[in-house]
Amino acid sequence: MKVNMKNKKLMSHIGRICLTVLGTLIVSISINALYIPYNIMSGGVSGLAIWLNLTFDFNTSLSIIIINIPIFIMGYRWINKEFIVFSLVGAVTLALFIHLTQGVSFHSEEILTTILLGGVINGLGLGLILRANSSTGGNDIISKILNKYFSYSISTLNFMFNMLIIAISIVFFGIDIAVQTLATMFVSANTIKFILEGINYKRTILIITKYDIEIAKVINEKMNRGCTILDGRGSYTNELKSVLYTIISINQVAKLKMLVRSIDKDALINVIETRVVFGHGRGFENINS
């Protein structure tokens, strides 16, 4: 049993490494083929490295390694060691691939093509890296440290880092290039979201009703979904009611609303946007992934 668990963990680690390496290769292509030739900067440390290359002709790969050294030292001391190891793989392979893909180019007369293609390719690579629970170092590690010890939001911190890149772009390359950089970041961020979450968005439904058994039955039989029945009580009326909790696809919301109203027209239905659901169920993510 222990041997099987070790083999399973080893295969999981190998899969994460392969996904990280593939992701960094894709990111490096976006940087060399589309970002640097058009003065577009990416977010985080790679963005700073691109700026150093464009402004002072510093080697991009070497800049990534040098900037990351103190960050990894802090990360190894203060946050999860496994994340640091996989992020080290990401940072090193990104620097290596940026060096190896310097000859890759993509020519376009339309800046919109560059923005869209650059953002999609960059976001695809970063999405694969994040899906492997890895990173390329830099602001991802800094954000985790600040979140762990000071409870700062990671998304807010990443936004601040990106705004710093935009500010640098305005100062050194002008407002037009800065707006192009911002647009590319937006496309990249949405591509990352698609890679991590897909398009199969769910909706969490809370139904407050007296007819819990009847509604649960139609959810089971008419929608082929399970639900959980919770005990509830109104704070004003002190009246006992049930709360039904279920998760459905976005295209099932209208049908569920109709079914509930046919049984209890006074039921309160709360629809909550849900991106990803981990667990055992149709359309849910594997809890062990």
Helix, strand or coil, per DSSP, at residue 203: strand
Whether the predicted pLDDT of 180 surpasses 80: yes
Helix%, strand%, coil% for the chain, nearest 5: 65, 10, 25
Give residue-wise pLDDT tens across range 223-270.
889 999 999 988 888 888 899 999 998 888 999 999 999 999 999 999
Residue 10 lies in a domain: yes
Whether the predicted pLDDT of 199 surpasses 70: no
Last residue of a domain, one of 197, 231, 252: 197
For position 2, what pLDDT does the model report?
57
Residue 264 lies in a domain: yes
Whether 167 and 217 map to the same domain: the answer is: no
**Phi (first) and psi of residue 132, to 5 degrees:** -85, 10
Whether 104 and 212 map to the same domain: the answer is: no
Whether 189 and 206 map to the same domain: the answer is: no
Last residue of a domain, one of 164, 197, 230: 197
Whether 120 and 178 map to the same domain: the answer is: yes
Residue 98 lies in a domain: yes
Whether 142 and 263 map to the same domain: the answer is: no
Give residue-wise pLDDT tens across range 144-163.
899 888 888 888 888 899 99
For position 45, what pLDDT does the model report?
92
Evaluate the CA torsion angle 189, 31, 88, 285 in order and state its sign: positive
For position 246, what pLDDT does the model report?
95
Helices (H) then strands (E): counts for the chain: 10, 4
Mean pLDDT of 212-224: 93
Whether 39 and 88 map to the same domain: the answer is: yes
Whether 239 and 265 map to the same domain: the answer is: yes
Find the domain containing 122 and state its range.
2-197
Q: How far is the C-alpha of 44 from the C-alpha of 189, rounded, in Å?
A: 13
Contact 192, 130 (CB under 8 A): yes
- Residues, the chain: 289
- Copy the structure tokens of residue 22: 């593939």
Give residue-wise pLDDT tens across range 78-110.
988 889 999 999 999 999 999 999 989 888 889
Last residue of a domain, one of 197, 228, 259: 197
- Strand ranges (DSSP E) for the chain? 202-209, 228-233, 240-249, 268-274
Residue 285 lies in a domain: no
Contact 218, 195 (CB under 8 A): no
Whether the predicted pLDDT of 55 surpasses 90: yes
Whether 28 and 148 map to the same domain: the answer is: yes
Nearest to 250 by CA among 289, 211, 212, 200: 200
Whether 193 and 236 map to the same domain: the answer is: no
Radius of gyration of the chain (CA): 24
Residue 283 lies in a domain: no
CA distances from 281 to 7, 203, 225, 251 (A): 26, 14, 9, 17
- Copy the structure tokens of residue 184: 């590319």
Residue 198 banded pLDDT, cuts 50, 70, 90: confident
For position 156, what pLDDT does the model report?
86
Whether 21 and 150 map to the same domain: the answer is: yes
Residue 267 lies in a domain: yes
Residue that wins the pLDDT comparison between 8 and 40: 40
Domain count, the chain: 2
Q: What is the DSSP string of 43-112?
A: SHHHHHHHHHHHHH---HHHHHHHHHHHHHHHHHHHS-HHHHHHHHHHHHHHHHHHHHTTT-----S-HH
Whether 66 and 142 map to the same domain: the answer is: yes
Whether 148 and 67 map to the same domain: the answer is: yes
Contact 136, 63 (CB under 8 A): no
**CATH code: domain of residue 251:** 3.30.70.120
